[in-house]
Amino acid sequence: MSQLKLNFRSVTTLVIDRDRYTRSLVGQMLRGFGVGGIESVDSGEAARKYIQDNFVDLCIVEANLPDMSGADFIRWVRREQKDPVRFMPILVLTGYTQLRMISAVRDAGANIVVKKPVSAQVLFDRVAWIARTPRAYIETADYVGPDRRFKELVPPGGRYRRETDAPVQDAMAKQANGDKA
Amino acid sequence: MGVKKVFFPKIRLAELVAAPGGTTRDDAVAAAVRNVQAISGEGDAVMNASIQAIEKIVAGAGARLDPGALESILIHADQVITLAGTFGYESLDRAARSLCDTIESLLAVKASDAAPVAVHVDAMRLFSPGKASPQGDAAEGVLAELARVQAYYRSRAAPQ
């Protein structure tokens, strides 16, 4: 059976991480996927400036930026930007010591949370999942972002083809979207 | 209850990836792995620099590490975990995770002992890239000692 092809050539990605080498590592993976536009910055403030002047199709951000939390950055995108920027897909990378931040970035409106170290396989599968899976957005007084109760349908037989196909359960909210975040 | 709006916004990423052409998952991942391997040497240097930065903090602290120093160590150790996991340094990865868990316990009880941090950093140096690191049982022996240290501080941090 032939595999589905994804075309990342016209996609612009913004990578936000305090560490230069981590930005380079993620950039090399994205280059391998064929992503045509890869920009990287080292702080939330630099990311804000970039987003105000440029259109970004996908944002990959670490959970704990040097000048603000990843959650604050995501809230700024979801609350203060106009359409379509505020619906920009946001993938959050968390370090080992940042796992406590998972619920904070999820409740700020992240599309998906991925634990570091991230492999090329996992990054590809997560980005492909974000790109190919239609997902409702919710807007309430407390929350703007993708539906946190979203559940991916399990394939027939209940088995994923690969372990990495399964979504990160930590990133899935159990509470209703109308509840206080 | 407030107003709740549910909608499906147009996501440009979804439209772009569906354009004709592109690459399969296997080809994309293989190219990405090659690209990452090409910069693995620099990754080794970054890991060694992070360990060195932790060593410097510990050496300058004496017997006590204040919470600010412990938080700084966590940032460097997190970097080591990320890269050790990426490039397959399993023992270094485990030693760095044990260091982070130990520091979390120290912070939880507002303790400032430098000794448990120092012993972890020595182990991380032992397992660092470019070193003739212990293998097999010898490595497990070192990691078991770290686990004992971590368990001691975790028990102190656990609610009584």
Highest mean pLDDT (candidates A14-18, A82-86, A173-177): A14-18
Contact A31 B42 (CB under 8 A): no
Q: Does residue B103 sit within a domain?
A: yes
**Range A12-146 has CATH code 3.20.20.80:** no
Residues of chain A with CATH 3.40.50.2300: 12-146
Q: How many domains does chain B have?
A: 1
pLDDT of res. A159? 53
Residue B108 lies in a domain: yes
Query: Is residue B151 included in any domain, yes or no?
Result: yes
Question: What pLDDT is stored for residue A2 in this prediction?
Answer: 66
Question: pLDDT tier at A81 (50, 70, 90 boundaries)?
Answer: confident
Bond from prior residue into A84 cis (ω within 30 degrees of 0): yes
Contact call for A21 and B83, based on CB within 8 A: yes
Task: Check: CB of residue A83 under 8 Å from CB of residue B9.
Answer: yes
Whether A176 has a pLDDT exceeding 80, the answer reads no
Q: Is the pLDDT higher at B59 or at A97?
A: B59
Q: Is B35 within the bounds of a domain? A: no
Per DSSP, the residues of B61-100 read HTTB--HHHHHHHHHHHHHHHHHHHHHT-HHHHHHHHHHH
Distance, CA of A17 to CA of A90 (rounded, Å):
13
The kind and range of the H/E element at B58 are helix B40-61
Task: Name the CA dihedral angle for B103, B152, B146, B69, rounded to a multiple of 10 degrees.
Answer: 20
List CB contacts (< 8 A) between B5 and chain A.
Answer: 138-140
- State the Cα–Cα distance between residues A89 and A84, nearest whole angstrom: 10
* B109 occurs within a structural domain: yes
The residues near A9 (Cβ < 8 Å, ≥ 6 apart) are A34, A35, A36, B19, B21, B22
Mutation site, A4, A5, A116, A143, interface B, largest B CB count within 10 A: A5
More confident residue, A100 or B98: B98
Q: Are A145 and A151 in contact (CB under 8 A)?
A: no
At A152, the pLDDT band (50, 70, 90 cuts) reads low
Domain for residue B149, yes or no? Answer: yes
- Structure confidence at residue B62 as a pLDDT band (50, 70, 90): confident
Look at residue B6 and give its three-state secondary structure: strand
Measured distance CA(A83)–CA(A136) in Å, rounded: 15
C-beta atoms of A57 and B13 within 8 A: yes
Q: Tell me the residue range of the domain where B74 lies.
A: 45-157
Using an 8 Å Cβ cutoff, are B85 and A116 in contact?
yes
Residue of A3, A11, A21 to mutate when probing chain B, most B C-beta within 10 A: A21
Q: At which residue do the structure tokens 């372990």 appear?
A: A163
Write down the pLDDT at residue A97.
78
B9: in domain: no
Per-residue pLDDT, averaged over B42-68, amounts to 93
CATH assignment of the domain containing B71? 1.20.120.160
- Interface confidence (ipTM) of the complex: 0.82
pLDDT digits (tens, 9 = 90+) for B106-153: 998 888 899 999 999 999 999 999 888 888 999 999 999 999 999 998
Average pLDDT over residues B50-57: 96
* pTM of this structure: 0.84
pLDDT computed for residue A95 by the predictor: 86
Nearest to B70 by CA among B98, B109, B112: B112
The distance of B63 to chain A (nearest Cα, Å) reads 24
Measure B57 CA to nearest chain A CA, in Å: 18
